[in-house]
Structure 1
Amino acid sequence: MGVMENTSAVVVAGGDGTLAEVLTGLLRRADHEEAASRLPLGVLPLGKTNCATSAIWGFRGNPEPRHLAEAAMAVIRDIKRPLDVMEITPLQGGEEGVPPKPVFAASKVEWGAYRDARERNDVYWYWSVLKKYMTYVFSSYKDISWDCSADIEYSTPCSGCSRCRGTVKEEHKVEETPKPPQRWWMAYLPRTKPVSTPKEEKKIDYSSIINEECGVVKKTTVSDISDLSVVTRNTPESLDIPNYALALKTGPTNVGSFAFIQEGWSREWNKSNSYDAESIIGEITLTPTGNTKTNRR
């Protein structure tokens, strides 16, 4: 795209979906490595879900006006920080003979009953502010994805070793956020709490690091669970995940209607999800095996 050649930054006004579309378009480019380092992304949390930006600015649920102002001022003042991105590649392409294209996300991928119910809440618009709660009541007996059974292959996370890196990593200097020049009008602008500037990376000789678990594929299965999520550390509840790893989170099995409604309301009220199990992983391949459209009445 010719317009991108004269662009110094990209500002995204939206939520996780809009951010994923922008990341996908940017990282599918032939020069994606150069473009990713040359084009910083500014994100204004204006979407329905804002997990990635909420992890950066420290809010839950809908952003407050001050969070929007801080995000806008971060763009103006050119405050930067690295952002972890997850690559998702379908096992099969949309058309026969056409290889599947990857998509990219910054926060998480969800599959299951609670995700389906949340996506349907606009159908119950006539319940006004209660629609986000009533969607779980009506979805508890509708035809939704309850049986999230799947075969899973995953690897343990590796921060870097002779097997996956091999060569010495070249010294990478992270451009520090420059101090903005003082102007008369800046005295009237609120001071934004700066996001911590990443430190300069040191040269690491990965050829001397041995990790026997690197690249070893492990297998497991999940059956009759209510939901499943694969998340990065760009979510408020998963900030402690290493930047080279993902978290696989699974919900309870054989959830009844009352428990489904109770958990759904809890997620809306507390703005956080509860899971039965969580594993820290590297790469993951998920193949659905169950009947993902199970009638429960």
Structure 2
Amino acid sequence: MERIVKFAKVIRNNWKKSVVGVIALYYGGATLKEKYEINVLMRAACKEAAKYGDSLIPMERNPTVITVILNPVANKRKAKRDFEKYCEPLLHLAGLQMDVVQTTSEGNAKEIVESLKGTEAIIVAGGDGTLSETVTGLLRRNDEANRFPLGILPLGRTNSIGNTLFPGGDGVEKVKQLIDASMAIIKGNTVWKDVMRIDPVVTEDETPTRPIYAMASIEWGAFRDTLAKRDKYWFCGSLREYAAFIFNGYKNSLTWNCSGTIKYTPPCVGCSNCVAKRPEVKRKWTFFVSNTHAAQDIDKTKMVNPECLMTQEICFKTSDFNIKTQNVGNSHPIPALSIILGRNTYSYTEFVSEGWNRLSKSPNTEPIYARTIELLPKDAEREVTIEIDKEEFDMKPVKITLLPKIVKLFCNASD
């Protein structure tokens, strides 16, 4: 209770600071230094990008064509403005010919990428949801030998993969992040990343649906539900996430009972059981030639691992269920998905305290590592929602398969 009283005082002080900040912003005094630093950063970045456009691309060569999938409503409709202000000028100066396609509805990015032709790279200008849709459209294509490298411009509200590749923050730090992401595309350095393939488990009477793909996480439970409500507490400013745990820690509307069965197979470096031989990739384009992190040319289809197909089964009941890839902090030495099963029950104060701790660090729970996971939830009395790369879906039985090093992303040279 003492922590909650202190938090109430912080909320009050934060509200006062917000009012002062709005007044200062109105008069322009508080942002002059920030604007100057951003102008200096953009001037230097434009000079560097122009060098690539002037000297590194032969005059006789046609401009490199890239397709930008822009979600104009991402980050409360700020994504389009920030793209045009901080990213688009750098890409133009580097000599790239951009075809900017704005998404118009949920799922539109998948449709755009599935039918895309005549491009040499795809740039995702949005958040986790736009990236997941783009990757889904990319991996649903039939021309496996002709996939495109992906660039990420972290312009969404949640940017799990973008923040991992290009650490950022607010204000000047956010602009630095967008400059780094744009310059990574221009310089052409790439890294291979893992993807989760998620297939609905259907009965004989049901029609199979197409899989979806995710690069970060699957979340289910009370902690996820609480953070989904944070915008209701906008009056708390930057502390709205803390407020969400205070006002929802006792509510039955949260999913306190995540129960069911998981069947999983252990991690595998790759063998004849789990690796399909891929066709050789031959590209006619030459601009994106730097590939310091290319996948190793080892024929794993000839390797034998008898433990790869061994299945283990666990019945679980928890208020916090999470599956993550190695793209967002899973540190297993070989390709693996991490399964985190939290505690069954929390008191109100325990839930608030744990929720606040998770806003700054990952939960201290020993994960289970797997290559494939069959998630079979127990029938619930009400509709249950899970989150796949920050996009909400109805909870259904699914099979999750790790696809190691299958998507190529632009990155900094040091990654």
Tell me which interval the TM-score lies in, with the shorter structure as reference length: 0.7 to 0.9
SS at 1:273's partner residue? coil
Larger Rg: 2
What residue is the counterpart of 1:203 in the other structure? Answer: 298
Q: 1:66 to 1:80 in 2, by over 3 A?
A: same
Residue matched to 1:284:
373
Contact 1:247 1:279 in 2 (8 A): yes
Could you report, residue by residue, the CA deviation over 1:97-152 in whole angstroms, capped at 9, with x for unpaired residues? 43222111111111111111111111222322221111111221221111111200
Misfit runs of 4+, over 6 Å? 60-63, 169-176
Conserved 8 A contact 1:110-1:228: yes
What is residue 268 of structure 2 aligned with on the other side? 158
Alignment of 1:205-224 (within 5 A): 206-207=301-302, 209-223=303-317
Give the C-alpha shift of residue 210 in structure 1: 3.0
> SS at 1:277's partner residue?
coil
Q: Quick check: 1:70 aligned with 2:180?
A: yes
TM-score normalised according to structure 2 size: 0.57
Count of aligned pairs between the two proteins? 266
CA distance in 2, matches of 1:241, 1:262: 28
Moved more, 256-265 or 60-69: 60-69
Higher strand share: 2
Q: Secondary structure at the match of 2:194?
A: coil
Aligned-partner SS, 1:213: helix
Output the aligned Cα RMSD: 3.1
Task: Report the 3-state secondary structure (helix = DSSP H, G, I; strand = E; otherwise coil) of the residue aligned with 1:87.
Answer: strand
**Contact 1:114-1:264 at 8 Å conserved across structures:** yes
Quote how far apart the aligned CAs of 1:65 are.
2.2
TM-score normalised by structure 1 residue count: 0.78
Please list, as runs of the form range in 1=range in 2, the aligned pairs for 1:213-252 lying within 5 A after superposition.
213-223=307-317, 225-235=318-328, 237-238=329-330, 240-242=331-333, 244-252=335-343
User: Taking CA–CA contacts closer than 8 Å with sequence separation of 6 or more, which of the two structures ends up with the larger relative contact order?
Assistant: 1
Q: Once the two structures are superposed, what CA deviation does each residue of 1:60-108 show, in whole Å capped at 9, x if it has no partner? A: 8996321211001111222211121111122249xx7432221111111
SS at match of 1:221: strand
In 2, the alpha carbon distance for the partners of 1:129 and 1:246 equals 32
- The reply to whether residue 144 of structure 1 matches residue 144 of structure 2 is no
Is there any run of 5+ residues in structure 1 with no aligned partner, and where? 180-195
Which structure shows the bigger proportion of residues in helix conformation?
2
SS at match of 2:358: helix
Structure 1 CA distance, aligned partners of 2:294 and 2:134?
Answer: 26
**SS at 2:308 equivalent:** coil
SS of 1:125's equivalent?
A: helix
1:5 to 109, 117, 126: 117
- Would the alpha carbon gap of residues 101 and 61 (structure 1) be closer, same or farther in structure 2, given more than 3 Å must change? farther
The alignment partner of 2:165 has SS state of helix
Question: Are the structure 2 counterparts of residues 29 and 230 from structure 1 closer, same or farther at C-alpha, using a change threshold of 3 Å?
Answer: same
Q: Distance in 2 between matches of 1:34 and 1:172?
A: 5
Where structure 2 has 5 or more consecutive residues not aligned to the other structure, the ranges are 1-111, 384-415
Matched, 1:134 2:246: no
1:261 shift after superposition: 0.8
